[in-house]
Chains A and B, each alone.
Chain A
């Protein structure tokens, strides 16, 4: 069992005794609105005790993301951000906050340009537990998968409500650490707090793997988070959190996180 999976399983067991909640995975964009401010915001979240911190390294053409994250990425890229610096910063955080896990997310090209295997090695040395690359499909991922095996880091695959069954099975069976279950079609974010389209596919996923499941895309209310508790291990909060941060500031955004994940009060 990978370290990430071990961490999630243990944390779940600790929680389930007293709380009815999934684990929290909060998303932050490195370099937004500036490198300093993004690091301060990450520390705030880690001080709250978020279970998993997802850090997105910006790319100029983030096609899986909606307007909130796209705009923030473009703003962040008015500075020439380096993956190398980002990893150094995350290393410091990983060391300072051993009770949370850090997951790195970016699109393929910045990583490809840096060098896939070198990147995985560096990420592993920086204490990063898992990697999300939304535009790298499992069939294109030989080098990635190999490097992840060698350097003991989990490649976090995505599955969706419309992933064909056979493919769902194959991805689920190859998953480790955690599996990212997309709640619906479309890009990240959006204002509609609609119900999650289909939990039935998540039940299918569970037949194929023991890997912990995280649900993301369009999660922005306590009600949704409560629903997720019945189906998955982790709820991912991305655009909704960024919207709060943009519109009401870091303090209000931190309160929002506590509201969604009451267990964080106790941390």
Chain B
């Protein structure tokens, strides 16, 4: 979706320290030129295809459709991207832009770690230095992702200020960029931040909806009736919705994280129920959760990727003009939805994406079997193994971890064995 001078209605814009002005302008220019350069676009599509595995399938969930007895449920399988989430679409795009601008280092913020992983993967491939900022709280709940980022050669910085989640990681990334703009690009992971980031991230993510449009024609000869996507920052949602904005028969539903309650610090609902209000922070104007003094508030979600205090200015605008309907799902509903998909369709969804599933499952039974709904399965759930095991109270998980931890330090034996066989670690 194209902005008006960086604005979407009353949201968006560029509110950054003066030191970043030059770099921001450089990105505006580089992005405009790249979009209109056939060679850049060709390379982008090539990398999407050959590195990330696009196009991703549109999967008909016949079992669940029958189970609910309502609409035909389809999943857009962004979980099948390389790195296991839609984040890769944007990172490939911005990564190529970084090379084009001649910068040698990328900085990124990450919540669940999916954007961090995707950035580390692309940085390794493009030979870029990479620093990832991640809230200390998120590191604690997503350590496996941190591990891989480090193995990929990225420096992971634990952010211990403020709420120690995505918002603080974003602040730290901006601070790094203020000092490193000469050689570094801030590779933001969601459709937030100062202009042109929301527009640029939406542009690279809109491949999701473009494919769904073609695939729905091919598979059921019409456009979907409804689209569902979870909304943290909003990049997977705008990625799915963008191609359908002019198709008024297609309803779009954004699903926020209702967490465990409606008190501040228990949820990440910004748009539904008008719990959030207009604020200007982290480089842009949008709807944020804030107190009456204008201080940003703590958030919670079982899904680290949705645990964010603000939202894309594009989504804030689309919700305001009623083009996107906002709803939410609680931690509990999300786990139920996750479990349903596991058992009925043999797919392991990320907890973030399970929010979209929860809303779709709630509404599907009320629709006719002639209707088609598409849920953006924005990421796979492997990364959530610890959280899900805990939530499902798996009895064998704790003894397994304890046992594993006990043998962890004896790893030398195995390493020696491998070395003796000439294996490379």
| A and B are interacting partners | yes
Using CB atoms and an 8 Å cutoff, list the residues of chain A in contact with chain B.
59-67, 70-71, 74, 77, 80-83, 107-114, 134-137, 140, 157-160, 162-164, 167, 182, 185-187
Complex CA–CA separation, A176 to B181 (angstroms): 29
Task: Using A74-B161, A108-B15 as known contacts, say yes or no to A59 and B21 having CB atoms under 8 A apart.
Answer: no
Q: How far is the CB of B160 from chain A (nearest CB, A)?
A: 9
Q: How far is the CB of A43 from chain B (nearest CB, A)?
A: 24
Count contacts on B: residues with CB < 8 A to the other chain.
34
Task: Using A134-B18, A182-B19, A185-B181 as known contacts, say yes or no to A66 and B295 having CB atoms under 8 A apart.
Answer: no
Q: How far is the CB of A115 from chain B (nearest CB, A)?
A: 10
Report whether B167 and A137 are in contact in the complex, using a CB–CB cutoff of 8 Å.
no
Report whether A140 and B162 are in contact in the complex, using a CB–CB cutoff of 8 Å.
no
Chain B residues, Cβ within 8 Å of A80: 291, 293, 295
Report whether B162 and A60 are in contact in the complex, using a CB–CB cutoff of 8 Å.
yes
Q: What are 10 A-B pairs at a CB distance below 8 A? A: A60-B281, A70-B161, A71-B161, A82-B293, A108-B281, A113-B290, A135-B283, A162-B22, A185-B180, A186-B175
Report whether B175 and A187 are in contact in the complex, using a CB–CB cutoff of 8 Å.
yes
Among the listed A135, A157, A164, which residue makes an inter-chain contact with B22, where contact means beta carbons less than 8 Å apart?
A164
Complex CA–CA separation, A65 to B22 (angstroms): 19
Complex CA–CA separation, A258 to B290 (angstroms): 40
Known pairs A113-B294, A185-B179; list 14 more (Cβ under 8 Å): A60-B295, A61-B281, A61-B282, A63-B175, A63-B283, A67-B161, A80-B293, A113-B279, A113-B290, A135-B15, A135-B283, A137-B15, A185-B181, A185-B182
Report whether A114 and B294 are in contact in the complex, using a CB–CB cutoff of 8 Å.
yes
Complex CA–CA separation, A266 to B16 (angstroms): 40
Report whether B296 and A136 are in contact in the complex, using a CB–CB cutoff of 8 Å.
no
**Minimum CB distance partner of B310 in chain A:** A61
Report whether B17 and A135 are in contact in the complex, using a CB–CB cutoff of 8 Å.
yes
Using CB atoms and an 8 Å cutoff, list the residues of chain B in contact with chain A.
13-19, 21-22, 25, 161-162, 167-168, 171, 174-175, 178-182, 279-283, 290-296
Complex CA–CA separation, A112 to B15 (angstroms): 12
Complex CA–CA separation, A35 to B17 (angstroms): 27
Chain B residues, Cβ within 8 Å of A71: 161
Chain A residues, Cβ within 8 Å of B178: 63-64, 185-187
Complex CA–CA separation, A187 to B293 (angstroms): 24
Chain A residues, Cβ within 8 Å of B22: 162-164
Chain B residues, Cβ within 8 Å of A74: 161-162
Task: Using A61-B162, A63-B174, A63-B175 as known contacts, say yes or no to A163 and B21 having CB atoms under 8 A apart.
Answer: yes
Q: How far is the CB of A119 from chain B (nearest CB, A)?
A: 11
Chain A residues, Cβ within 8 Å of B19: 64, 160, 162, 182, 185-186
Among the listed A59, A62, A182, which residue makes an inter-chain contact with B294, where contact means beta carbons less than 8 Å apart?
A59
Q: How far is the CB of A47 from chain B (nearest CB, A)?
A: 30
Task: Using A113-B290, A182-B18, A187-B178 as known contacts, say yes or no to A63 and B282 having CB atoms under 8 A apart.
Answer: yes
Among the listed A109, A113, A135, which residue makes an inter-chain contact with B16, where contact means beta carbons less than 8 Å apart?
A135
Report whether A109 and B290 are in contact in the complex, using a CB–CB cutoff of 8 Å.
yes
Complex CA–CA separation, A51 to B281 (angstroms): 31
Chain B residues, Cβ within 8 Å of A112: 279-280, 294
Complex CA–CA separation, A163 to B22 (angstroms): 7
Report whether A109 and B281 are in contact in the complex, using a CB–CB cutoff of 8 Å.
yes
**Minimum CB distance partner of A162 in chain B:** B22
Report whether A137 and B16 are in contact in the complex, using a CB–CB cutoff of 8 Å.
yes
Report whether A109 and B283 are in contact in the complex, using a CB–CB cutoff of 8 Å.
no
Chain B residues, Cβ within 8 Å of A107: 281
Report whether B295 and A59 are in contact in the complex, using a CB–CB cutoff of 8 Å.
yes
Chain A residues, Cβ within 8 Å of B13: 140
Complex CA–CA separation, A201 to B295 (angstroms): 35
Chain A residues, Cβ within 8 Å of B171: 61-63, 70
Q: How far is the CB of B183 from chain A (nearest CB, A)?
A: 11
Q: How far is the CB of B308 from chain A (nearest CB, A)?
A: 12
Chain B residues, Cβ within 8 Å of A160: 18-19, 21
Report whether A137 and B21 are in contact in the complex, using a CB–CB cutoff of 8 Å.
yes
Complex CA–CA separation, A167 to B154 (angstroms): 36
**Minimum CB distance partner of B5 in chain A:** A139
**Minimum CB distance partner of A133 in chain B:** B15
Report whether B295 and A158 are in contact in the complex, using a CB–CB cutoff of 8 Å.
no
Report whether B21 and A109 are in contact in the complex, using a CB–CB cutoff of 8 Å.
no
3 A-B pairs with least C-beta separation: A113-B294, A186-B179, A110-B294
Report whether A83 and B293 are in contact in the complex, using a CB–CB cutoff of 8 Å.
yes
Complex CA–CA separation, A66 to B175 (angstroms): 7
**Minimum CB distance partner of A58 in chain B:** B295
Chain A residues, Cβ within 8 Å of B179: 185-187
**Minimum CB distance partner of A106 in chain B:** B294
**Minimum CB distance partner of A77 in chain B:** B295
Chain B residues, Cβ within 8 Å of A66: 175
Chain B residues, Cβ within 8 Å of A62: 171
**Minimum CB distance partner of A84 in chain B:** B293
**Minimum CB distance partner of B161 in chain A:** A70
Residue in B17, B181, B292 whose Cβ sees the most chain A Cβ within 10 Å: B17
**Minimum CB distance partner of B162 in chain A:** A74
Chain B residues, Cβ within 8 Å of A136: 15
Chain A residues, Cβ within 8 Å of B180: 185
**Minimum CB distance partner of A109 in chain B:** B294
Chain B residues, Cβ within 8 Å of A77: 295
Q: How far is the CB of A137 from chain B (nearest CB, A)?
A: 7
Task: Using A82-B293, A109-B290, A187-B175 as known contacts, say yes or no to A167 and B282 having CB atoms under 8 A apart.
Answer: no
Complex CA–CA separation, A158 to B20 (angstroms): 12
Report whether A110 and B15 are in contact in the complex, using a CB–CB cutoff of 8 Å.
no
Report whether B18 and A137 are in contact in the complex, using a CB–CB cutoff of 8 Å.
yes
Complex CA–CA separation, A185 to B293 (angstroms): 30
Q: How far is the CB of A106 from chain B (nearest CB, A)?
A: 9
Chain B residues, Cβ within 8 Å of A140: 13-15
Chain B residues, Cβ within 8 Å of A67: 161
Report whether B283 and A81 are in contact in the complex, using a CB–CB cutoff of 8 Å.
no
Chain B residues, Cβ within 8 Å of A157: 18
Report whether B295 and A110 are in contact in the complex, using a CB–CB cutoff of 8 Å.
yes
**Minimum CB distance partner of A182 in chain B:** B19
Q: How far is the CB of B170 from chain A (nearest CB, A)?
A: 8
Among the listed B181, B182, B280, B296, which residue makes an inter-chain contact with A60, where contact means beta carbons less than 8 Å apart?
B296
Complex CA–CA separation, A121 to B112 (angstroms): 44
Complex CA–CA separation, A139 to B296 (angstroms): 25
Q: How far is the CB of A129 from chain B (nearest CB, A)?
A: 21
